[in-house]
Amino acid sequence: MQILSLMVAAYGAVVATCLGYLTYRRERHRVRLRFRLEAGDGPPGLAIYIVNLGLRAVTIRRGVFFWNGHEGHFGPDFRRSGEFPARLSDGDELRLWIAIDDVVGKPDGLTVEDTTGREHHQQFSPAFVEQLALFRQWLADATTQTS
């Protein structure tokens, strides 16, 4: 009889812990940042996708913040274009496009901030940093060849 009571108590503890964890995850703001270099019909640039993965809506307060080690540089002021603040519901995605000339220095990653003050970071992989440098070099070479 005591073993049965112990098993029921353990089962209740496991269920309560799982439900508590799921509630915690549901209430969290979860944002994923993706990025891609683009050289299409218009001027070349960096496309940034801000995706809300959480179950709650999140409002992104301001634009993209590039960082390199301890230095930080804001990207263009998107507030003038009316894109910020941007409210993203569950699964919504916001696409931002930044001209490659507006990407200052050699950034290691980027950050966006939501209205709760939480910062969402995405570090660039070494391969992407190298790809960015090659992309800039390719643009510089193309510009000098057409001049």
Residue 47 belongs to some domain of the structure: yes
Residue 58 belongs to some domain of the structure: yes
Residue 132 belongs to some domain of the structure: yes
Neighbours of 53 (CB within 10 A): 13
Residue 20 belongs to some domain of the structure: no
CATH (domain of 45):
2.60.40
β-pair partners for 51: 32, 93
Instruction: State whether residue 128 is helix, strand or coil.
Output: helix
The string of pLDDT tens digits covering residues 70-104 is 666 656 655 555 666 788 888 888 888 887 777 76
Going by C-alpha positions, the residue among 111, 112, 124, 113 that lies closest to residue 37 is: 124
The string of pLDDT tens digits covering residues 43-65 is 788 888 888 887 777 888 776 77
Residue 2 belongs to some domain of the structure: no
- Specify the number of domains making up the chain: 1
Residue 110 belongs to some domain of the structure: yes
Is the separation of the CB atoms in 60 and 84 below 8 Å? yes
The string of pLDDT tens digits covering residues 111-127 is 888 777 788 888 888 88
Domain of residue 59 covers: 29-146
Structure tokens that stand for 141 in this block: 């070479």
Q: How many Å separate Cα 84 from the centre of its chain?
A: 15
